[in-house]
Structure 1
């Protein structure tokens, strides 16, 4: 499993997702942006993470993430998730290199909301 480099910072997080409010794209193959790591944090229940070799490739890894555990999706990595319990809740925290364009853009959005 990938690790997030030490000079990367959390610049954005999703709401807490449940089977009732999950955006459908998370349940189908998608990838993270260039230079962005996704940290999947399971708060309750169990989630299954599928990683793919490429957009149309075979599954290269399946990871069961239990409550209190995390999984990391590296930049541009094709993946999807599957709920394993009805009470599963998770959040994705996005990380990019400190002072990168994406971090600056999101900090500007945050400060304009204050």
Structure 2
């Protein structure tokens, strides 16, 4: 199922670029975007696996997709998910979008997000 980010939503912030060696531990596990926040995984090099889960403690993913270099995937708000590099040269990032009226604060990965873009 293709996820579309609503047209009126704006770019709120982005992660740094991650590789196999710099991917933070929380992203390696199962996590969810905040309610009302869409993600967009962009792969610059290599490939990643995107897995969607029905719950944080689900033993297996409901779906899995391979995202190749040059492609991206939008992720739904509150969707339990996991992203894993599939190649040694993987290089990717995640952008986050929300309603213009929503002020985002304290995302769970705040230590690895770009603080210059307003994430505290």
Question: Given the two structures, how large is their TM-score scaled by the length of structure 1?
Answer: 0.86
How far did 1:55 drift? 1.6
Aligned counterparts, 1:14-29, within 5 A = 14-29=15-30
How far did 1:99 drift? 2.2
Which residue, out of 67, 77, 86, partners 1:75? Answer: 77
Change in Cα spacing, 1:110 to 1:61, as seen in structure 2 (3 Å) is same
Residues 12 and 117, structure 2, Cα contact 8 Å, conserved in 1: no
Cα distance between partner residues in 2 of 1:111 and 1:62: 30
When the two chains are superposed, the root-mean-square deviation of aligned CA atoms in Å is: 1.8
Q: Which runs of 5+ in 2 are unaligned?
A: 106-114
Give the SS at the match of 1:64. Answer: strand
Cα distance between partner residues in 2 of 1:44 and 1:111: 24
Bigger shift: residues 51-60 or 71-80: 51-60
**Count of residues in Structure 1 that have an aligned counterpart in Structure 2:** 107
Question: Given the two structures, how large is their TM-score scaled by the length of structure 2?
Answer: 0.82
How far did 1:110 drift? 4.8
How far did 1:111 drift? 8.1
